[in-house]
Amino acid sequence: MVKVSYKTIKIRDETYEKINVLVGDMMKELKRPVSIDEALRYMLKSRKNKPSQFAGGWKMDEKELLEIKNDLKESWKRWEL
């Protein structure tokens, strides 16, 4: 068992609510109980995001993909080298 020391910190009510939302989201994703301590450690660790961590984060359909491609093609036509 890990020995844990307890600390008291002051945070705003809205911050506490947002942390609890994160805890709830993590519990849904991990399908197990998650403590506020674990959620805070997760947030601190995730501050060092790598681009690869975002792979698959944007869900788009074919229509949106075509719009983006067409917009890029139009933009590229205006480029001058």
Q: Answer yes or no: is pLDDT of 24 > 90.
A: yes
In a domain, 38, yes or no: yes
In a domain, 37, yes or no: yes
Host H or E run for residue 79: none
- Residue 65, burial from CB neighbour count under 10 angstroms (0-12, 13-18, 19+): exposed
Query: What is the number of structural domains in the chain?
Result: 1
Average pLDDT over residues 16-41: 94
In a domain, 63, yes or no: no
In a domain, 81, yes or no: no
Which tokens hold the place of 64? 């949106």
Q: Answer yes or no: is pLDDT of 48 > 80.
A: no
In a domain, 32, yes or no: yes
* Distance in angstroms (rounded) separating the CA atoms of residues 15 and 22: 11
Domain containing 29 equals 11-45
pTM, full prediction: 0.52
In a domain, 36, yes or no: yes
Q: Answer yes or no: is pLDDT of 21 > 70.
A: yes
Contact 57, 50 (CB under 8 A): no
